[in-house]
Chain A
Amino acid sequence: MAIEPVIFYFFAVVLVATSVAVITVPNSVHAVLFLVLAFFTSAGLWLLLEAEFLAITLVLVYVGAVMVLFLFVVMMLDINFEPTREGFIKNLPIGIIVALIMVVEIILVVWPNFGLENYAAPAQQIAGYSNTKELGLVLYTVYLYAFELAAAILLLAIVAAIMLTLRRRPNSKYQDISEQVLAKKKDRLRIVKMESSPKAAPTSVQESEGGVEQ
């Protein structure tokens, strides 16, 4: 028995189940964790398609970086879950209508080309084929402008997000790091030479301790 279909159906079932869980579980931290699992299983599906670069990048970028920040933010929000449930029944008809429209749209787009017979099976790649290299060659030659444009837009988004949230407070105190780094031992430390033991024989323990403190 071929192992690929088994793996595919395993990942597919987990992917669908976790995707449903993302929008149904009440706890938002759980929802984020289900989303992480959904990303992970879709990476597994891509790996089955021999798209190892995309699969690993999905894990690296979305699971390893984006979702960590997401989780970070969601964990810090102290959400009371009761109010989020209010109005569920009231808004249900609108929700169902929107969902139905979406389903109809998806069917209209997908149906004409649905089915395995409409697509040729992808050719098996030869052993030395490097997915990463091919992708790099295409990205940096054929799609160079689109690629650079996407990079510039992302940079713009970063700068914009920082500018929107940056508030200059006049009274805040900063540390001057270069001044801290430049501090030398002699600026901070004063070495005082003193006798390790009093010359005269101490008469009592209290007296000798007092002598050291002076």
Chain B
Amino acid sequence: MLQVLLDIWNWLPELIQILLKIVVIVVPIMLSVAYLTLAERKVIGYIQVRIGPNRVGPRGLLQPIADGLKLALKEIIIPTNANRFLFVIAPLLVLAPALAAWAVIPFDEGMVLADIDAGLLYILAMTSLGVYGVIIAGWASNSKYAFLGALRSSAQVVSYEIAMGFALVVVLMAAGSLNLQEIVLSQQGSVIHWFMWPLFPMFVVYFISGVAETNRAPFDVAEGESEIVAGFHVEYAGMAFALFFLAEYANMILIAALTAIMFMGGWLSPFEGVPVLDGLTSWVPGIFWLLAKMGVFLFLFLWFRATFPRYRYDQIMRLGWKVFIPVTIVWIVVTGFMVLGEVGPWFDRT
């Protein structure tokens, strides 16, 4: 049976094979996005001593389906004097880079759609493209609130991208490669070998910049419900709004995956190198560990939202420019010395 399936797979043209692989990656992402929204409402509900959605389906498990159906059936209203083409294309421009970045994410050893050498650069380029959709949405809506949201968002994303880029440069120095698989493999050994220990400040800076980059609370001035209604997507309804929503959550999952890959050993087991536990858990596939690590970061996203009040605009700019960028520059030098001095157990490999 397995042999027959393998034969059919090899018989398919390469283009079809790639398309099937893309489907296999994108469909679970979309499902996790749907259930992440439910998880968010449940988690924040419990943090605020509420129950959260529990009406649709058993324990509210069908809530995302109901939400999706509602959004799909809603009318898309295009505002007067809005730029029609840009208004419609903006949500796609937000979603497409968020999904395209998944092409280079390794889920396990060899389990990657495109194993390219410049993977880290590609990720950085793709995540920097998402801001176009936001800006275009804000401009094309022909609305003051949307425009203000777009301006805030672009200023914020451009600022935090610099700190994010520097954090990635430090990872590149530590791993000696831009290929995400090799970055994970260079963290092999044990939990101590993960890059989160020698690069701890970068780990924190990267994750917080990731939260800012996805416009999530407490960095959600681009939406700022209490000041500018809903920011850049105030004029959007129905599926067009749903695409913004999907993109935001897909980006959250992406940032969680990247943080896990670059600082917490990706698919490597946390019990690696531990005498008994390693043998007991060796049957667990690597993708399980990656998903578990991603889950931790996704929970942090939700926890942040329930805990912190929104940053003021000047505080955001101060944190990005005056705190994160100096910290990253200092840590580039520190890491340079650590690599030069072959500080173990991270940099003493030949």
Q: Interface of A with B (CB < 8 Å)?
A: 29, 33, 36, 52-53, 56-57, 59-60, 63-65, 68-69, 71-72, 75-76, 130-132, 175, 177
Q: Per-position contact with A for B235-273: 1 when CB-CB < 8 Å, else 0?
A: 000000000000000000000000000000000000000
Complex contact A75–B178 (CB within 8 A) = no
Chain A residues within 8 Å of B135, by CB: 68, 71-72, 75
Chain B residues within 8 Å of A69, by CB: 154, 158
Whether B161 sits at the interface, judged by CB under 8 Å, is yes
Chain B residues within 8 Å of A76, by CB: 151
Complex contact A72–B128 (CB within 8 A) = no
Chain A residues within 8 Å of B147, by CB: 75
Complex contact B118–A56 (CB within 8 A) = yes
How would you classify the secondary structure of chain B's contact residues: helix, strand, loop or mixed?
helix
Supposing A60-B128, A72-B135 touch, asked if A132 and B158 sit within 8 A by C-beta, the answer is: no
Whether B7 sits at the interface, judged by CB under 8 Å, is no
CA of A36 to CA of B129 in the docked complex: distance in angstroms? 11
- Chain A CB within 10 A, most for which of B116, B121, B131, B314: B121
Chain B residues within 8 Å of A60, by CB: 121, 124-125, 128
Complex contact B154–A68 (CB within 8 A) = yes
In the complex, besides A64-B128, A68-B135, A68-B157, 9 extra interface pairs with C-beta distance below 8 angstroms are: A53-B121, A56-B125, A59-B125, A59-B129, A69-B154, A69-B158, A75-B135, A75-B150, A130-B117
CA of A69 to CA of B132 in the docked complex: distance in angstroms? 11
Complex contact B128–A65 (CB within 8 A) = yes
Give min CB distance, A6 to chain B, whole Å: 13
Supposing A33-B136, A76-B151, A132-B178 touch, asked if A63 and B129 sit within 8 A by C-beta, the answer is: yes
Complex contact A131–B158 (CB within 8 A) = no
Complex contact A177–B116 (CB within 8 A) = no
Whether B21 sits at the interface, judged by CB under 8 Å, is no
- Chain A CB within 10 A, most for which of B86, B178, B314: B178
Complex contact B151–A64 (CB within 8 A) = no
Give min CB distance, B171 to chain A, whole Å: 14
Chain A's closest residue to B89 (CB) is: A33
Nearest 4 Cβ contacts at the A-B interface: A64-B128, A60-B125, A59-B125, A56-B121
Q: Interface of B with A (CB < 8 Å)?
A: 86, 116-118, 121-122, 124-125, 128-129, 131-132, 135-136, 139, 147, 150-151, 154-155, 157-158, 161, 178, 314-315, 318
How would you classify the secondary structure of chain A's contact residues: helix, strand, loop or mixed?
helix
- The one of A33, A53, A177 in contact with B118, judged by C-beta atoms closer than 8 angstroms, is A53
Chain A residues within 8 Å of B314, by CB: 175
CA of A33 to CA of B318 in the docked complex: distance in angstroms? 30
Give min CB distance, B129 to chain A, whole Å: 6
CA of A72 to CA of B158 in the docked complex: distance in angstroms? 11
CA of A132 to CA of B122 in the docked complex: distance in angstroms? 12
Complex contact A64–B161 (CB within 8 A) = yes
CA of A68 to CA of B128 in the docked complex: distance in angstroms? 9
Complex contact A52–B158 (CB within 8 A) = no
Chain A residues within 8 Å of B86, by CB: 33
Supposing A60-B128, A72-B135, A132-B121 touch, asked if A52 and B154 sit within 8 A by C-beta, the answer is: no
Chain B residues within 8 Å of A36, by CB: 132
CA of A204 to CA of B128 in the docked complex: distance in angstroms? 63
Chain B residues within 8 Å of A177, by CB: 315, 318
Chain A residues within 8 Å of B315, by CB: 177
Chain A's closest residue to B314 (CB) is: A175
Chain A residues within 8 Å of B116, by CB: 52
CA of A69 to CA of B117 in the docked complex: distance in angstroms? 29
Chain A residues within 8 Å of B131, by CB: 64, 68
CA of A68 to CA of B125 in the docked complex: distance in angstroms? 13
15 chain-A/chain-B pairs, Cβ below 8 angstroms: A29-B139, A52-B116, A56-B118, A60-B121, A60-B124, A60-B125, A60-B128, A63-B129, A65-B161, A69-B154, A72-B135, A131-B117, A131-B118, A132-B117, A132-B118
